[in-house]
Amino acid sequence: MSQRPSRVPRIARLIAIGLVVLIFGTWLGGHATWLPSPLRSSVANDSQARLVHQVLGDIQTDYYRKVNRSQLVNSGLSAMIASLDDPFSHNFSPSVYKSLFGVPHLNGIGVDVNLARRGLLVVDVFNGYPAARAGLLPGDVITKVGSTSLAGRSTSFAQRLIQGPPGTSVVLTVLAGGRRRVLRITRAHIVVPVAADRLITYHGAKLGYVELTTFDQQGAGDEVRADVEQMLHQGARGIVLDLRGNGGGLISEAIKVASIFIPSGTIASIAGRNTPRQVFTATGHAISTSIPVVVLVDGQTASASEIVTAALQDDHRALVVGTHTFGKGVFQDSFGLPGGGVLEIVAGYYYTPNGRNLGGGGVKQGAGVSPNVYAADKPRSSVDHQLNIALKTLAAEVK
């Protein structure tokens, strides 16, 4: 006859074992170096997580002023990222991320302007918006807003007068071809396009000008392609791609833009500590390589903008005009956080088709892309000196 063991001693033994494990585990929390590496990491991570939760709980419960736990967490994350001493890694709260990377918009009439001696020189008019419907054209000069003269005023002062709530009107005095006219334009909600184009006749040659302000928007590459094809359809014999002030964005959009001009081959490659080497090649359907291209850059041309610039330069597909670019040879990965925030950290390096890393092998500013034709910016001038040099360079390449 078999004998069934008593349940009471067994329960007592289990309780005793549990107490030993608990005591030993608590001790290990402060002496994890005694454990093998995999177990040590697990215990340390658990201990660190408990520490963070305890501090958050103590502050939320016992601090003399009421605090917001979510704000504490965001502040802690921001401090953690700041400790990396890396200018390209960030923790964005939901509201900040939306304001920085949402679709850019403003309330106004839909023009892009530069400072001129008599007021504001209209350099671009956004299709479908009030300024275009009122008949404003590139080259027009806005001399007054209402009764206020814009001569000698700053661009920001003039823009503040022109912008306003949608549905309200603004009265502009405009000079066009020596003729003065007064326009009453109703303001609207403006979604600023990431790309803009215009046809420029330079010493008898029709040249296409395409400006891209950011690579952050999905579809930026498609916009540039559409603008380039439109310029060519209108008779442009060469293209100026303006990437000045463009701080970059999505690598995928950079590959699309470079592929407009490069028919095949490597555009860029990336590699990181946790990112296997990946080579990006041209996607096809490039415009004819007989069409000359100039890329216009400055010290704020960075990241994805530099990928495009360097690819076209390495491939001998374009001449680069302007100043040295920023020199950002690293790329970031983004991770969605609970609540809608976004963590963006540097994940590795990118390389040009010739194997160059434009950031000097780290997260600090590097050498960047050296222009083929140097053209300094003259911010106080009403004439776009760099663009004029780019047009001159492009016109010399037109056959």
Backbone φ/ψ region at 36: left (φ over 0), alpha (ψ -120 to 50), beta = beta
Q: What is the pLDDT of residues 150-193, one digit of tens each?
A: 988 877 788 889 998 999 999 999 998 889 999 999 999 987 77
Share of the chain residues as helix, strand and coil, in percent rounded to the nearest 5? 35, 25, 40
Note the pLDDT of residue 18: 47
Topology of the domain covering 105-191: Pdz3 Domain (2.30.42)
Note the pLDDT of residue 333: 87
Catalytic, out of 95, 328, 381, 399: 328
Predicted confidence (pLDDT) at residue 4 exceeds the cutoff of 50: no
pLDDT classification of 377: cutoffs 50, 70, 90: confident
Q: Specify whether 37 is catalytic.
A: no
Give which of 197, 227, 244, 235 is closest to 398, Cα–Cα: 235
Which residues 6+ apart lie within 8 Å of 321 measured at CB? Answer: 294, 295, 296, 297, 371, 372, 373, 375, 386, 389, 390, 393
Helix (H, G, I), strand (E, B) or coil at 85: coil
The second-level CATH assignment, the architecture, of 195-397 is Alpha-Beta Complex (3.90)
111 vs 381 pLDDT, higher one: 111
Q: Which amino acid is located at 146 in the chain?
A: G
Cross-strand bridge partners of residue 268: 280
Domain ranges for the chain, please list them.
Answer: 7-67, 105-191, 195-397
Q: Other C-beta atoms within 10 Å of 385: how many?
A: 13
Catalytic, out of 303, 334, 378, 392: 303
Q: Specify whether 328 is catalytic.
A: yes
Q: What is the pLDDT of residues 11-29, one digit of tens each?
A: 444 444 444 444 444 444 4
Q: How high does pLDDT run on average in the chain?
A: 84
